[in-house]
Structure 1
Amino acid sequence: MTVRQRHEVAEAETWDLRDLFRTPSNWEAAVEEIPEILPEVTKWKGFVTESGQSLRAALTAREAVMVRLQRITHYAMLGEAGDAADPENQERAARASSLAASVHAELQFIDNEIMTLDEDTLDEFLLEDRQLRTFERYLRHQMQKRAYQLPDAAEAVFAGMGEVLDAPYGIYERSRTSDLVFPDIPLETGGTHPLTYNSFPEVEASQDTAFRRTGTDVFYGALGGYESTYAAVYQTEVRRQVLEARMRGYDSVTEMLLMPQQVTPELYHRQLDTIFTELAPHMRRFARLKKEVLGLEAMTFADLKAPLDPDYAPKMSFEEASRTIVEALRPLGPDYGALMERAVSERWVDYADNAGKRSGAFCANPYGVHPYLLLTWHQSMQDAFTLAHELGHAGHFALASEHQRAANVQSSLYFIEAPSTLNELLLSRYLLDHAEDERMKRWVLLQSLGTYYHNFVTHLLEGEFQRRVYALAEKDTPLTAVRLNEVKLTVLREFWGDEVEIPDYAGRTWMRQPHYYMGLYPYTYSAGLSISTAVMKRMQEDPDTAEQWLEVLKTGGSKTPLELVEDAGLDMAAGTPIQEAVDYVGSVIEQLEHAFTGKDE
């Protein structure tokens, strides 16, 4: 088995970046054009808040530049995501990053001048200029940040150094995709099996216990050769955030990172506390079930993702999965279905498996074009859930882009994972309803549990790790590889208790997560899934809920996350959706216990 190079991949398996720019030459021309159009914005320097009309004109001009810049950066970023080993992709990505930093620095004056406004004057502007109201959420948010604003010169330095300040994430990604090399996995039958970063999920989910455990040892052993470097990179990222929070006068770095999400520290801590405490007993019960069914002498860290029905692994092509997902999402209406059909048929999705490709999955949203989705297809029905998830992001972004101006498309991270996880839940429901035998139903239940495992366990434990890391960083504790490993081990062992043997190498799990370079992102997966679980329940009780949900998606980021949740008919502040989602996980595990052992409790 050899890993294909990018040029060996069929075009149909890759995304079509020509929708952004027809040729690299067109991209070059767009890069050259940016300095030429900046004066349309900079001419407002010193006059941004002169009137409501000047404020709207300055914001509109900046928005036009940022939309063009977004296309430029996405073209470069997506090219590198598809093949980070390509020197041309690397060069374009570096140039785009540098250009973005310089533009942000050049246009920082707009936010600086907005923060000189008082609330009464802003209210007058909004009353006088109806078109300015489309920027109201942005303006209100900027006013909230005023208390933490630095002098203009300092803000200009921060903006101008964006490329440098964001370097830890770039270094981490470049290392993961280009430099990280793994030895082959030795096989009991002789010979070896190749191992890459992107192929490791297949190893984790292998039905061969010896191969799975050996492959996990090899993977984390190889990571160990990079842990000091990765720790230094991650510590730089965390240290930068802590220092900035102190400079700006925040009570904590957590408060600073939550402000863009428009979420209170109380809600953040409750989300983590509730799930970490209430979910653990359910998952330990699942670990016991897996140990019993697989006949394992011990349940180890390497067995957590082992298939519970190892002889049953339905295969599915990308084309078949696409058709199935479109059918599964019919409850969301014909227009949403047509959007999904476009995504899978018009090369919005890059699902090839090739060397140099970024691991994991994501959905990018260049405004005015269409979303782009990345994942790696392994011909498994399980991949269909990843595709459904990313299509959920695509549907959300596309609807918001259609109904909102660019400044109002992006919703809070606290809400962002709700549309994606709802699609997974709808796919599970569809497959359960159309399963032809009990074994298939059992498999679908396992995949449904997999949705919760990924968002409620994997990302929840990452969120808890982050919380503890920031607590250490606030005390200026050095974040060495040894200390980071210890923190991760403690989190894993506290959650799984005595039901799972957690070896020391599992402490390196933190090295696998790029989300740590995206602020307080990991915990938001559990928030999104709590919301989508409640919405799914309401949809089953009242089909009209689907139309209400689509209206929420069209709202984009023009409202706060709790306002969006309220528009969906939920009350996140009460905490009920979180507890309901945890209880649902328990019910799925009970069904699996009955399906595999015949036991009823």
Structure 2
Amino acid sequence: MRFIPLVMTGVLLAGTMLSGSAAADSHDKPSKITRRTPMNQVLKRKDVSTEQSWKLEDLFPNQQAWDQEYQHVKDALKKVAAFHGKLKDPAAIKQCFELEDSISLQMERLYVYANMKHHEDTAEPTYQALSDKAKKLSVESGEALSFISPEILSLSDEQLNKLVGDPELTFYKRTLEEMIREKQHILSKQEEALLAQVGNLSQAPGTIFSMLNNADLKFPKVKDEQGEEVELTHGRYIQFLESRNRDVRKNAFQAMYDTYAKNKNTIGATLAANITKNIFYAKVRKYPSALEKSLFSDNIDKEVYTNLIDTIHESLPLMHRYMALRKKLLKVDELHMYDLFAPLVDEYKMDITYDQAKATVKDSLKPLGQNYLQILQEGFDNRWIDVYENEGKRNGAYSWGAFGTHPYVLLNHKDNLNSMFTLTHEMGHAIHSYLSDANQPYRYAQYTIFLAEVASTLNEALLMDYMLKKSTDPKEKMYLLTYYMDQFRTTVFRQTMFAEFEKITHERTEKGESLTPQDLSKIYYDLNLKYYGKDMVVDQDIEMEWARIPHFYNSFYVYKYATGFSAATSFAKQILEEGQPAVDRYLGFLKSGGSDYSINILKRAGVDMSSPEPIKQAMEVFKGLLQQMEQLAQ
């Protein structure tokens, strides 16, 4: 059962969300309700102007239409049982796949609509209930359709190969081939049933960490810039690290990691249990390692992962140069870990209204051609975007939608640079979905998470290139360069360091070596020494940072941030240097959806992630930005 993921803004700064913006041309009209209300006044949902809200009527015109489709799914699920024991015959398999697609598409529409209505005002009980109703039906649908793959895979290899070549199943050839590829890792019916029963146990490490990290850990109070004592929280931590007052940064840093150090045995045992779980599933399903199991679903070779780490190692001198420049610009005798987010430019603020953000983004995306800009404008003109914060609205930003209608974007726009980048980021996701859906059938339209961050980050790269070329104010240019350099630092270097930490800890456990909290801390501390270089004082407190990273419970995921950013940087470089041929290849990528394996789709478009070249190209861009900063700092 296909289900479209909610594509959220990537986490680039530790604990902060990368933002984006979109473009509008000069004849856009101002909204009825402008954002000139005081900062402490947040509109109620009923007071939000129509023009600044998304048009969910394009999914369902009213509640009655949603209810009717809900009943259609309930009725269709009753037809599924008729296929049990029949999935040997090509005609039966084709009919079953067609029914699966029909149910999945309708379920997707129901689920997306109900949850987006809920996200408009999470306190509204009507849509709390509708969201819950959709989730329950989704579980029911998944359970009803779950027999399809196991039943088909119970056939002999000879029977499966005949099905792949059967003319009646030509459309589903890729589905069947993927089933065959996975067959070697599918266990007997009894073993699969047993693994399914212990599935909830496998979630325990992540659940325990989440409860400890989000509910039970209590941080001390620290003094803010005004000297007032404020309780330290996850959300406030980065705000403290961005303070211009060094004592504020240092005290927050030490308070954060002292708290984790006091819980290192519990958190260490929890992370070790998660690693042991990963290795258990890899062994049971006959994979060579936990890493290779994690890469299998995307058909990614292990070398993609190791190439990333090796290439970033070669580029660490550039990172060390950036740290030396940070030290110089901050005018400190020693650069400490708590100085990484300190602002490098004296008070500088960019006020950018939503309409200005749209216009700027549209101008920045002109290299992608008129067709791309027309889709972008369609999104602006036809209410794809829910723009501003209101009481009860879900925070953050995302792109979402359902096949057969246009995508949607949720924002909580503020008039600043970060929000402009959020808009272009999310519209990158949206246009990727729009072109994939327009050019692929439902079953093969959804792109993988491995590809998801490419289109969004490409838009950001073009926006940054446009703004840097247009800037004439040295202070503004340094501000922009710092913003972009820190995206490289946190998305490529830092996420690769995380990926290396995961690789080391899993390999040590697979060899039967110990993984105590002290071991985890030493591995992590040594990696920081390697990545930040001699101009950074790697404070001992940082050895506990591994204990606060939730991504480590979604193992071997973080490398996708770095590869996606590198692929997008490579695309941007090609587009800006080659022009139309590169644009055509890139648009072909956007139209490909999930019609092939991710590596193949990228390779056809001109980015070969099986080689280190795209990462090297990204590092060349990083080097160029660094040189610009060094010149401005002279």
Structure 1 segment 137-216 matched on structure 2, within 5 A: 137-156=174-193, 158=195, 165-166=202-203, 185-192=222-229, 196-216=233-253
One of 76, 80, 89 as aligned partner of 1:41 = 80
Give the share of equivalent positions with the same residue, in percent: 25
Q: Does 1:552 align with 2:589?
A: yes
Larger Rg: 2
Aligned to 2:29: none
Q: Residues 485 and 383 from structure 1, CA distance in 2 versus in 1: closer, same or farther, beyond 3 angstroms?
A: farther
Q: Compare 295-304 and 394-403 and name the one that shifted more.
A: 394-403
Indicate the residue corresponding to 2:453 in structure 1.
Answer: 417
Asked if the contact 2:164–2:176 (Cα under 8 Å) also holds between the matched residues in 1, the reply is no
Structure 2 residues not aligned, in runs of 5+: 1-37
Q: 1:524 to 1:188 in 2, by over 3 A?
A: closer
C-alpha displacement of 1:440:
2.6
CA deviation digits over 1:234-266, x for unaligned, max 9?
555444332221111111111111001211112
Give the superposition deviation at 1:306.
1.9
2:89 aligned residue (50, 67, 72): 50
Give the deviation of 1:186 after TM superposition: 1.4
Q: Is the 8 A contact 2:387 2:410 kept in 1?
A: yes
Given candidates 426, 430, 435, the residue that maps to 1:394 is 430
Q: Which has the higher helix share?
A: 1
What's the counterpart of residue 596 of structure 1?
633
Partner residue, 1:569: 606
Distance of 2:242 and 2:194 partners within structure 1: 47
**Residue matched to 1:522:** 558
- Identify if the C-alpha distance between structure 1 residues 270 and 172 changes in structure 2 by more than 3 Å, giving closer, same or farther: same
Does 1:282 find its partner at 2:339?
no
Q: Please tell me whether residue 268 in structure 1 is matched to residue 305 in structure 2.
A: yes
Rate the CA distance shift 1:143–1:447 in 2: closer, same or farther, 3 A: same
TM-score (norm 2): 0.80
Is this contact kept in 2: 1:207–1:311, CA < 8 A? no
Alpha-carbon distance in structure 1 between the residues aligned to 2:57 and 2:344: 43
For structure 1, the residue ranges without an aligned partner over 5 or more in a row are none
Deviations 1:545-580 (A, max 9, x none): 212211211111111122212211233334222222
SS at match of 1:312: coil
Shift of 1:367: 3.4
Q: Residues 479 and 23 (structure 1 numbering): CA distance in 2 closer, same or farther, change over 3 Å?
A: farther
CA contact (8 A) 1:6 1:83 kept: no
Q: What letter corresponds to residue 295 of structure 1 in structure 2?
A: K
CA distance in 2, matches of 1:196, 1:80: 27
Q: Secondary structure at the match of 2:533?
A: helix
C-alpha contact (below 8 Å) 1:84/1:174 kept by paired residues: no
**1:6 touches 1:355 (CA, 8 Å); kept in 2?**
no
State the partner residue of 2:616: 579
Work out which of the residue numbers 485, 506, 511 in structure 2 matches 1:449. 485
Alpha-carbon distance in structure 1 between the residues aligned to 2:120 and 2:262: 25
Whole-Å separation in 2 of the counterparts to 1:507 and 1:21: 51
Matched, 1:324 2:360: yes
Find the counterpart in structure 2 of residue 463 from structure 1.
499
Question: Residues 462 and 134 from structure 1, CA distance in 2 versus in 1: closer, same or farther, beyond 3 angstroms?
Answer: farther
Does residue 68 of structure 1 match 2:133? no
Please, which of 399, 404, 416 is the counterpart of residue 380 of structure 1?
416
Cα deviation, residue 449, structure 1: 2.0
Structure with more contact order per residue of length (Cα contacts < 8 Å, sep ≥ 6) = 2
Q: In structure 2, what residue type is equivalent to 1:49?
A: K
- Give the Å deviation of 1:124: 4.9
CA contact (8 A) 1:414 1:561 kept: yes
Report how far residue 164 of structure 1 moved: 6.3
The RMSD of aligned alpha carbons is 4.0
Q: Judge conservation of contact 1:114–1:143 (CA < 8 Å) in 2.
A: no
CA–CA distance in 1 between the matches of 2:519 and 2:124?
35
Which residue of the partner structure matches residue 111 of structure 1? 149
In structure 2, how many angstroms separate the alpha carbons of the residues matched to 1:83 and 1:218?
35
Distance in 2 separating the partners of 1:38 and 1:10: 40
How many correspondences in the alignment? Answer: 593
Q: Does 1:255 align with 2:285?
A: no
Provide, for residues 278-319 of structure 1, a one-character-per-residue CA deviation record: whole Å limited to 9, x for no partner: 232111111111111111222111111222213223233344
* Counterpart-to-counterpart distance in 2, 1:267 and 1:3: 48
CA distance in 1, matches of 2:165, 2:599: 25
In 2, are the aligned partners of 1:220 and 1:506 still within 8 Å (CA)?
yes
Asked if 1:490 is matched to 2:534, the reply is no
Displacement after TM superposition at 1:498 (Å): 2.8
Match of 2:342 among 299, 306, 323: 306
* One-letter amino acid of the structure 1 residue matched with residue 419 of structure 2: D
Contact 1:108/1:159 (8 A) holds in 2 = no
Alpha-carbon distance in 2 for matches of 1:476, 1:77: 45
Rate the CA distance shift 1:550–1:241 in 2: closer, same or farther, 3 A.
same
Provide the C-alpha distance between the structure 1 equivalents of 2:624 and 2:194, rounded to a whole number of angstroms. Answer: 53
Change in CA separation of 1:455 and 1:32 when aligned onto 2, cut-off 3 Å = same
